Chain A
Amino acid sequence: MRDFSYLRAASVDAARAGAIQPGAMLLAGGTTLLDLAKCGVATPDTVIDVTHLSGLSAIEVDADGARIGALAKMAAVADDPAIIAAFPAISQSLTLAASQQLRNMATIGGNLMQRTRCPYFRDPGTFSACNKRAPGSGCSAIGGVTRNHAVLGVSDACIATYHGDLAVALVAFDAVVEIGERSVAIDDFFLVPGDTPERETLIEAGEMITGIRVPASAGAGNSVYLKVRDRQSYEFAAASAAVSLELEDDGRTVRDIRVALGGVATKPWRARAVEQALIGKAIDAETVKAASLLAVEGAVSNGGNQYKIALAPRVVARAISDLASKTARTSGGQA
């Protein structure tokens, strides 16, 4: 790891002023930044430690929804009783991510900003071509080993997956990212690669995420995060789904549903076509299966990741069916 200067920010303003300098990077939990510095991908001249700032780690939940400070730790949010009750999918997306050690270190702000695990991106010594790292240099993944690469939102320039779990749940809930004074809808916050894969979010130099707001929604309390992966724990998603569901009083007709996908797209992926196909319909296995296939509309495979196109709709269908049968039971409707 190349050496750098270390600054401990005394305030958010000082952190921003420092971060606008060329070569400066914010350091929160360090679980992405120091990892990538060791890979030779991140080469900061200065790191600005924000972990000693106070007042940015509160977790507040009320009738309007939740507000989570950018420095709240993944573990703290995962275990927060009010979050578990109001937004179970958020808690589950965090509990199923990384390991407890990493969750104790990593912050919510840093979590959104985590970088892809594309092995070519992470290995500049062996693979010089990577449009995300070195714009215009090409993409080593296309034509290479692509088992964990994206099938949705890809471009000719980059097919790297966004691997984070939390953001998938946040996209389902229409969360808002607070960047100091400005607020951005989370679906707009993340960018598809297009011709500029080096640009992943709307964050500009010198900006800092200060918190996340999650508006209350009817189905939020009845939500789930289902993560399917190559090993049972401590692994990124092969495919995942965050789903929230509100049924009519009959216990079978969909009043509102939110569906988002992880592990298969270049950004946390809202599957609105699935939602539209189900609103107003009675839930049964065939309807759910047919609607879930819409989750991968427009998907493009690059060899080894072909399986994701078959897997993702099944993950969506299972998440919806599990929620529906649970809802039917608890509402006393037809089970």
Chain B
Amino acid sequence: MTRTIPLSLAINGKPHTLDVEPRVTLLDALREHLSLTGTKKGCDQGQCGACTCHVDGERVLSCLTLAAQVEGRQVTTIEGIAGEDGTLHAVQKAFIEQDAFQCGYCTPGQIMSAVACIREGHAGSDAEIREYMSGNLCRCGAYNSIVAAVREAAAAVSVNEKVEAA
């Protein structure tokens, strides 16, 4: 029994149409149907954070979201956060600067989570960063460098905002 449903999704500002079974998650739609493989599958059960994306600007787990549920919403993936010209996002720069990964598998999820964490205003101290980044596990244990990268990016973002506001 294979019944597919037609969906139109807005991903990284671009419209995409696809035909998928209703059970297809946003994660599988991105990776298997749209060749956007930057978003990673770790546990596929909501426990590791590797699949973190933004829906309408908020971080969510794409493995526990049906593709059908995000019709009409704006989806942002790791492929969509650098500038059009390839300029890296402040969080991406900070991860490189702080060497905040080893194997890199958790990194797209960490970066998507960190971008939102800073935007939410939950990156005010190391303790707050640890608490609000706790949904992203890193089996390589790069946690200290990840906290340092989020701290550095949060500072850079607030400087940018002050410059823009001036």
Contact = CB atoms under 8 A, between A and B. Distances in A.
B142 interface: no
Interface residues of A, number: 31
Given A49-B69, A104-B59, A31 B46 contact: yes
B31 interface: no
A101 B52 contact: yes
A234 B22 contact: no
Interface in B118-152: 120, 122, 130-132, 134-136
B113 to A, nearest CB: 7
B45 interface: yes
A100 B122 contact: yes
Binding site secondary structure of chain A: mixed
A51 B22 CA distance: 16
A290 interface: no
15 contacts: A3-B2, A3-B21, A3-B22, A3-B23, A27-B69, A38-B44, A47-B66, A99-B135, A100-B116, A101-B59, A101-B113, A102-B64, A102-B135, A105-B64, A105-B65
Nearest to A8: B68
Interface string A141-166: 00000000000000000000000000
B64 A35 contact: yes
B108 to A, nearest CB: 13
Interface of A: 1-6, 8, 27, 29-31, 34-35, 37-39, 47, 49, 51-52, 75, 98-102, 104-105, 232-234
Contacts of B59: 100-101, 104
B61 interface: yes
B65 A233 contact: no
Nearest to A103: B135
B163 interface: no
Contacts of B166: none
A3 B46 CA distance: 19
Interface residues of B, number: 34
B22 A4 contact: yes
A99 B69 contact: no
B60 interface: yes
A38 B45 contact: yes
B92 interface: no
Interface string B10-41: 00000000000111010000000000000000
A30 B65 contact: yes
Given A30-B65, A101-B61, 10 more contacts: A2-B23, A5-B3, A6-B66, A6-B68, A49-B68, A52-B72, A100-B59, A100-B122, A101-B135, A105-B64
A100 B2 CA distance: 35
A174 B17 CA distance: 48
Contacts of A3: 1-3, 21-23
Nearest to A51: B69
Contact of A6 (B22, B116, B132): B22
Q: Sorted from nearest, which 10 A-B pairs have the closest CB atoms?
A: A99-B135, A6-B22, A233-B134, A234-B134, A104-B58, A3-B23, A34-B64, A6-B68, A101-B135, A101-B61
A234 B5 CA distance: 35
A100 B22 contact: no
A100 B64 contact: no
A98 B131 CA distance: 11
